[in-house]
């Protein structure tokens, strides 16, 4: 029996977490980060049918639920990689959640957060993220 392979995309210029979130620095001076889910997780889940983000102005702690995704066969909750304030959510996902499946690194972003004391070195580079998938 052959091994099964799944093709997915990893984008450079971002940081990653072991639980399949990506983070992109938007404004270094303001300390704002855009976050979403990796293509690897999307390929595993299948078509995203619903996105349930945290609320704008909500304070989240590390390991609080940042957002949840529902697919046809599964529902998962993704924990926040850090403490901070949610300053924006992608409201377009309410009407078109499939944007997460179709363009997870672009229009399918989920939240913008202003972290408190974010330690960038705690996150994975694209190469480290790929290596973590093989563990």
Q: Could you list the residue range(s) of the whole structural domain that residue 99 is in?
A: 21-117
What confidence tens digit (pLDDT) does each residue in 80-128 have? 999 999 999 999 999 999 999 999 999 999 999 999 977 777 899 999 9
- Residue 131: burial class (beta carbons within 10 Å; 0-12, 13-18, 19+): exposed
Q: What is the H or E stretch that residue 72 is in?
A: none
User: What values do phi and psi take at 50, rounded to 5?
Assistant: -155, 140
Count of domains forming the chain: 1
Q: From start to end of the chain, where are the E strands?
A: 15-16, 21-27, 32-37, 48-53, 59-60, 65-71, 75-79, 84-89, 111-115
Does residue 67 belong to any structural domain of this protein? yes
pLDDT of residue 1: 43
pLDDT of 4 higher than 80? no
Residue 41 lies in a domain: yes
Looking at residue 34, what is its pLDDT? 97
pTM of the complete model beyond 0.95: no
Digit-coded pLDDT (tens) for 58-82: 999 988 999 999 998 899 999 999 9
In a domain, 52, yes or no: yes
In a domain, 9, yes or no: no
CATH code, domain with 49: 2.40.50.100
């Amino acid at each position: 029996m052959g091994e099964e392979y799944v093709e997915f995309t990893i984008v450079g210029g971002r940081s990653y977490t072991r639980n399949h979130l990506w983070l992109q620095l938007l404004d270094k001076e303001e300390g704002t980060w855009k976050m979403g889910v990796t293509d690897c997780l999307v390929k595993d889940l299948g078509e995203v049918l619903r996105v349930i983000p945290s609320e704008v102005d909500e304070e989240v702690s590390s390991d609080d639920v940042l957002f949840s995704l529902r697919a046809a066969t599964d529902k998962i909750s993704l924990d926040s990689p850090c403490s901070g304030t949610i300053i924006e959510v992608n409201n377009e996902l309410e009407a078109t959640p499939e944007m997460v499946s179709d363009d997870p690194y672009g229009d399918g972003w989920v939240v913008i957060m202003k972290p408190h004391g974010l330690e960038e070195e705690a996150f994975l580079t694209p190469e480290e993220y790929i290596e973590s998938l093989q563990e």
